[in-house]
Amino acid sequence: MAPETPAEPEPMPAPAVILVQPQLAENVGTTARAMHNCGLGDLRLVEPREDWLGDKAVAAASGADAVLRAARAYPTTAAAVADLHRVLATTARRRDMVKPLTTPRQAAQTLGGVIAAGHRAGVLFGPERAGLGNDDVALADAIIEVPLNPAYRSLNLAQAVLLVGYEWFQAHGGPFDMAPPASDSPPATQADLDNLHHHLFRELEDCGFLRSEEKRPGMKRNIRNIFQRAGLSVQEVRTLHGIVKELRHGRR
């Protein structure tokens, strides 16, 4: 019997991206790239005009061709969303349709709720020039509109997918390591900073810079603040010691 290994935590399933009648293979490729950026993998194509596994699409996917290879084509939008419990539609122009209007940020919350409940969700994107037709929008539960410059809201296909996917990833992409890089040199301690300040002030007093007794405390505090704020590393503190020494005692 094989020893049991602890199960890896499953990543949260992500919404499907449904491209309705994409016209250019290149745009399917750049969409795959944007999806992979955002941890999305379920690409569905309704009546794609060009081959989404051809050279143009693969080149445009720029390394994200696994998303292209996993893509499935459907004859109708209804077929592409048949297994989904919740469908949102992206549009750039307002429709004369009574549908809730949402933003990518709000949509990420909505989709997250649906998926966390064990259901499946997807987002519809229309053809490059025309956008979604009203019959396709009618299949959606709500409309996503991206808040952008009202005088210029036109996004290309991959950019629309990127913004929706970006908000998905911000909300559900898991912890993102924002720790600064592990430096070769660890951050300086307060004691390191104290030593630097003592060294600097000693030399400044010695050369007559801190002449005025009255102004000395304020001046010292101001100088200290400069280095305090800088978040110095041990190596940088060492460099500054060297600079002070050299300025004071180096060749004249």
> Which residues are near its own copies by CB under 8 A?
34, 36-39, 62-64, 94-101, 103, 105, 145-150, 152-156, 158-159, 162-163, 166, 169-170, 173, 176-181, 183-184, 187, 231-233, 236
Nearer to its own copies by C-beta: 156 or 222? Answer: 156
Q: How far is the CB of 154 from its own copies (least distance, A)?
A: 7
- Spatial separation of the C-alpha atoms in residues 234 and 236, rounded to whole Å: 5
DSSP string for 225-249:
HHHHHTT-BHHHHHHHHHHHHHHHH
- Spatial separation of the C-alpha atoms in residues 118 and 44, rounded to whole Å: 20
Residue 127 is which amino acid? Answer: P
Q: Of 37, 65, 33, nearest to 52 (Cα)? A: 65
Q: How far is the CB of 25 from its own copies (least distance, A)?
A: 17
Alpha carbons within 13 A on the beta-carbon side of 93: 9
Sheet holding 121-125, edge to edge: 72-74, 43-46, 16-20, 121-125, 86-90, 142-144, 101-102
Nearer to its own copies by C-beta: 34 or 68? Answer: 34
Nearer to its own copies by C-beta: 95 or 199? Answer: 95
Q: How far is the CB of 202 from its own copies (least distance, A)?
A: 26
Q: How far is the CB of 182 from its own copies (least distance, A)?
A: 8
Q: How far is the CB of 40 from its own copies (least distance, A)?
A: 9
Nearer to its own copies by C-beta: 113 or 147? Answer: 147
